[in-house]
A and B are shown apart, each in its own frame.
Chain A
Amino acid sequence: MVRLLKLQRLAMVSTMLLAGQAIAQTGLDASRHRWTVRGSSSLISVDSRDTSWLDGGLSKMRYDETDSNTVFDRLLIEYEGALTPTLIAQIDADIMGDGDGSFDLTEAFLEWRPVPRSANRHRLKLGAFYPRASLENVGVGWSSPYSISWSAINTWLAEEIRLFGAEWTLSRPLGGGGSAHRLDLFAAAFYGNDPSGTLLAWKGWGLHDRQTRWREQLPLPSIPVLQPGTRMRQHQDPHAQPFLEIDHEPGFHAGAEWRYADRVSLAASRYDNRADPLSTADGQYGWRTVFDHIALRASLPWNLGLMAQWMRGTTAMGSVIGAGRRVVDNDYEASFVMLTRRWDSFRLSLRVDDFEVYDADVLPNDNNYENGDAVTLAYMRKLMGGLTLGVEWQRIDSMRPAREYLGLAPDADERQLRVQLSWQLSNHAD
């Protein structure tokens, strides 16, 4: 990955911040047009033999030991505006220290919110957006108020999943007006996202805070099947572009969520990109990626909050070559449980992750098996002047035989201490 020169980066950030400030101070009616600029930088201390996956390695983390101790994580600009009283636009664009230096989109969509005429509430999203799944990423620009690095599941969504289509949601109370029970049904149809699964298979799960942008190309690890001259490389570039449309077939994501007041919620959904695993285009394969997802949230005694997500699925590409499995054919499963508690000005969160990839194909020199777990402890504190301080300790233990292809032991015990300072500027108070 091309890293920006420090000076270049500094100039870019200053320009963006000044532009953001100018935008924030314009006379635009803040009740209709809302701008948020958010910049974050971190002090990091990494203990890992792996190279960052952004540099062709197999680390689960965003930064590795070769990175400088101070890193520029992200500069986000979010616009949220009411084009009409019932048509809302949201655009999130960012630039990152470990990006290609360009300013690109993470999400951009329109949401039509017709005023309900009965207990049935309809919402329709149109554009490029995340599937309705993450419980963690509820902050501005899909950030998390709970921790700096996200769970394996939501990190994967950030890396490889984005829907380019429409999502319809019907929400209604269960059991009569005013009931505290509510049921949401949602269904999305989308194009794009055909190569998603490429990174999960060849790189594995990750736990970090980096979102792939619209046109971004992500490096794949230097494993044998991806070396120049291999058969795989006839159609596969050495990088992944997870959001491309390859076979011109739409995929879907659909599910339901039940919620009881602000006490408990349970959601279940299925994602299927319906990609043709034999199709190729622009140096990418279609990967047929299917998963089931469950998310649980509950308010516990002592003002504790509980969150848990679970995901299980498959991703496969190429023709069927043995035992009914394709050339690259992987099953995967991940879950996490998080306990969080908020005090007046700070929050403490503890998350335990578990993740696995099971390599079901017979392709030689391409062992994508992986098994790991992680513990993340985060302290997030709001300071004055739009500043937020995050302190996070993380330990990720994983076993991945493919590390041997890179001359490393299969087992890795990665640790990281990260102190992040974020500065938010906006033309609205909330």
Chain B
Amino acid sequence: MSGQALRQISRAAAAGWLGVLICAAATANAATLTVAVTDRAGTPVSDAVIYAVPSHNARNDTATPPTAVMDQREKAFVPHLLVVETGTAVEFPNHDTVGHHVYSFSDAKSFELPLYSGRAHAPIVFDTPGVVDIGCNIHDHMEAHIVIVDTPYFGVMSGSDTAAIVDVPPGQYTVHVYTPRLPPRSQPAPHSIVITNSAAHIDISIEQRLRPPHGRTNRSLEWSAY
């Protein structure tokens, strides 16, 4: 059954602002959770992070999460939205010829990587859960968001119709959505789900009016500074 069909069934079934559909199919003893986040027109929301927090402390491995990368290419952060587990080190390699000066004044992590190219700076460890908005002090239009979560079960809707979280052990979870296209305090309400040994799917429809997506939708105007 395709994600699209599922969403359609879900939309037909759900009258409230949060539509939920759990679909069962046989798998091994860890499941894949797919989540589709759509706006009120039914269009997939490209900039959204999904993470599932186990209700009971289900984590048994305490290994350090692998290093993540926030790249800089053609005067843009890649990806625009990054989700990592608490304690993750993030590298900020600059692949442009022009120098970038990465900074954040967010509560979850305030830092600065003074003007550099290549890999001049050591990775930054994000040790507090929350959202870190990052910018470049040279290029005011450059921006990205790092979402730090207390769970290894997360995914991003990045240009696809759904976000997939693989290898989720059975148990009860609270599924959260975070999108920078809504103010921090107006994020969609979390949803509880019980994961069994089968694939699960959730449709989340955001009824609030979203901010415009990041990036240029119209290339005809140069918006650079004066």
Q: Closest CB-CB distance, A165 to chain B, in whole Å?
A: 15
Within 8 A of B (CB), among A341-369: 341-342, 347
Q: Which residues of chain A in 124-178 are interfacial with respect to chain B, using CB atoms and an 8 Å cutoff?
A: 130, 132-134, 138-139, 145, 171, 176-178
CB-CB contacts below 8 Å: B201-226 with A:
211-212, 216-224, 226
B135 contacts the other chain (CB 8 A): yes
Q: When A31-B116, A176-B183, A305-B218 are in contact, do A261 and B212 touch as well, CB less than 8 Å? A: yes
CA distance A261 to B47 in the complex (A): 15
Does chain A have a CB within 8 A of B61?
A: no
Contacts A180-B211, A180-B212: A428 and B115 contacting too (C-beta < 8 A)? Answer: no
Q: B223 contacts which of A82, A119, A262 (Cβ < 8 Å)?
A: A262
Please state if B98 and A342 are interface contacts (CB–CB under 8 Å).
Answer: no
Interface residues in A302-322 by Cβ distance below 8 A to B read 303-305, 307
Write the A9-38 contact mask toward B (1 if CB under 8 angstroms, else 0). Answer: 000000000000000000001111010000
Task: Give the secondary structure class of B's interface.
Answer: loop
Contact, CB under 8 Å: A32 / B115: yes
| Cross-interface CB contact of B137 among A116, A262, A304, A347, cutoff 8 Å | A116
Within 8 A of A (CB), among B157-205: 180, 183-184
Residues of B with C-beta under 8 A to A215:
none
Cβ–Cβ contact B180 & A178, under 8 A: yes
8 Å CB contact of A178 from B96, B116, B184, B221: B184
Contact B112 A31 (CB under 8 A): no
- How long is the Cα–Cα vector from A134 to B226 in the complex, in angstroms? 8
Comparing B16-24, B48-56, B99-107, B146-154, the segment that makes contact with chain A is B99-107
Residues of the B chain whose Cβ atoms lie less than 8 Å from the Cβ of A133: 226
Chain A, interface residues (CB within 8 Å), range: 35 or more
Q: How distant is the Cα of A192 from the Cα of B83 in the complex, in angstroms?
A: 52
Write the A398-430 contact mask toward B (1 if CB under 8 angstroms, else 0).
000000000000000000000000000000111
The residue from B94, B105, B135, B212 contacting A117, defined by CB atoms under 8 A apart:
B105
Are A115 and B219 touching (Cβ within 8 A)? no
In the complex formed, the residue of B with least CB distance to A304 is: B220
A299 touches B99 (CB 8 A): no
**A31-B97 Cα distance, complex, nearest whole Å:** 5
Give the shortest distance, in Å, between A87 (CB) and chain B (any CB): 10
A115 and B101 contact, CB distance less than 8 A? yes
B80 near A: Cβ within 8 Å?
no
Interface residues of B in 1-16 (CB under 8 A from A): none
- Kindly provide the distance from the CB of A408 to the nearest chain B CB, expressed in whole angstroms: 38
Q: Which residues of B contact A32 (CB under 8 A)?
A: 99, 115
User: Are the C-beta atoms of A428 and B98 separated by less than 8 Å?
Assistant: yes
Q: Among A31, A34, A260, A300, find the residue whose CB has the most chain B CB atoms closer than 10 A.
A: A31
Q: Is A179 an interface residue (CB 8 A)?
A: yes
Answer whether residue B58 sits at the interface, using C-beta atoms and an 8 A cutoff: no
Asked whether, in the complex, the Cβ of A138 is within 8 Å of the Cβ of B222, the reply is: yes
Q: Which of B101, B103, B112, B212 contacts A263 (CB 8 A)?
A: B212
Cα A119 to Cα B103 with chains together (Å) = 12
Cα of A138 to Cα of B223 in the assembled complex, Å: 8
24 chain-A/chain-B pairs, Cβ below 8 angstroms: A31-B94, A31-B98, A31-B115, A31-B116, A82-B138, A86-B101, A115-B103, A116-B105, A178-B180, A179-B211, A180-B212, A260-B212, A262-B212, A262-B216, A265-B223, A297-B223, A299-B217, A299-B218, A303-B219, A304-B218, A340-B220, A342-B220, A430-B74, A430-B97
Q: Residues of B with Cβ closer than 8 Å to A?
A: 74-75, 94, 96-99, 101, 103, 105, 112, 114-117, 133, 135, 137-138, 140, 180, 183-184, 211-212, 216-224, 226
